[in-house]
Every structure is written in C-alpha cells, then in structure tokens.
Amino acid sequence: MIRPLEPVTSKHRAAYGLAFFVLFVALWAWATFGGYVSKTFLANPLTMLQEGWELLTKHGFLFDIGMTIWRVIGGFVLAAVIAVPLGVLMGAYKPIEAFLEPFVSARLGFHPAIDPLGRHRRTAEAAGHLYRLGVPDHPDDRRERREHEARPC
C-alpha cells in the first residue's frame, strides 16, 4: 500500500519508472493504432522508431546531436572560464565590482527561462563569495553586508 512520505527503495523506484514508461507507450499505441488520434496529429510508436532510426543512419542526425552537445559544453566551459575569474575579481575588489556591475546587471530584464547569462552570473558571484571567505573583512564590507541583510527580499 502507498503511504504519504514513505521512502521508496531503489528497486521499487526503478520498477515504478519502468511501469510509467510501459504505460505511457501502451496508451500512446492504443490512441494511435486504435484510430482515436489522427496520424497527422500524432504518429504511432513504430513509425517514430522507424523514422528515428532513419534519421540516425541515413541523414546524419547523430552528427547533429554531437555538434549540439559540443556547442552546449563548449559554451558552458567558455562562460565558466570568463565568469568565474570575473566573479572572483568582483568579489575581492569593490572598484572592479562597481565597474562591471552595470554590464552584469543589464540582463535582469530578461525572463530566467531565456536568460543566457543568469546561471553563469550566479556561478561567478558564488565563486567571488567563496574567495572572500578567505579575505579579512574590510569595514566597508561589514557595513554593506548589514545593509544587504536589512533589505526586504
């Protein structure tokens, strides 16, 4: 019997995940093969497997997938290589923070789902704060921290 907040073993978790996948494909097959959903709107599972295999083997889709992964990883590495040192510098030196903050904060008008710099900015800020843990507090830093903590969220 299922009880709220009762832990699930890893075997049960795997079984539930597999059961969901089987149920999902079975409902999909029932809806498409049974004629309940038009082929124009939703292809059946076998057609999807055939077309997917054709994309991978005949149309070079595997290369496209590889290039996409390469671009995502490359973009993340490039952003981290730039953002982490800047975050450390911004966290350690107030003039550098004051100089770069308008540029870094300019992205605040974007929605987080389409914000390409948001995650990297938070990474850089975290790196700067970690760096500052080893740097003795300056009186201005303590004042600024008190002001920041006093601000409403």
**Residue bearing the bigger pLDDT, 141 or 61:** 61
Selection from 86, 81, 79 nearest residue 103 by Cα:
86
Selection from 106, 103, 100, 105 nearest residue 88 by Cα:
100
* Confidence (pLDDT) at 87: 87
**Residue bearing the bigger pLDDT, 50 or 146:** 50
Place 102 in a pLDDT band, splitting at 50, 70 and 90.
Answer: confident
**Residue bearing the bigger pLDDT, 120 or 63:** 63
Place 67 in a pLDDT band, splitting at 50, 70 and 90.
Answer: very high
* Confidence (pLDDT) at 104: 77
* Confidence (pLDDT) at 109: 54
Buried b (16+ CB within 10 A) or exposed e, 95-121: eebeeeeeebeeeeeeeeeeeebeebb
For every residue of 36-85, DSSP letters joined together read SS-TTT---HHHHHHHHHHHHHHS-HHHHHHHHHHHHHHHHHHHHHHHHH
Residue 43 has pLDDT above 90, yes or no: yes
In tens, the pLDDT along 114-131 reads 555 555 555 555 555 555
Residue 140 has pLDDT above 80, yes or no: no
Residue 81, amino acid: V
Residue 14 has pLDDT above 90, yes or no: yes
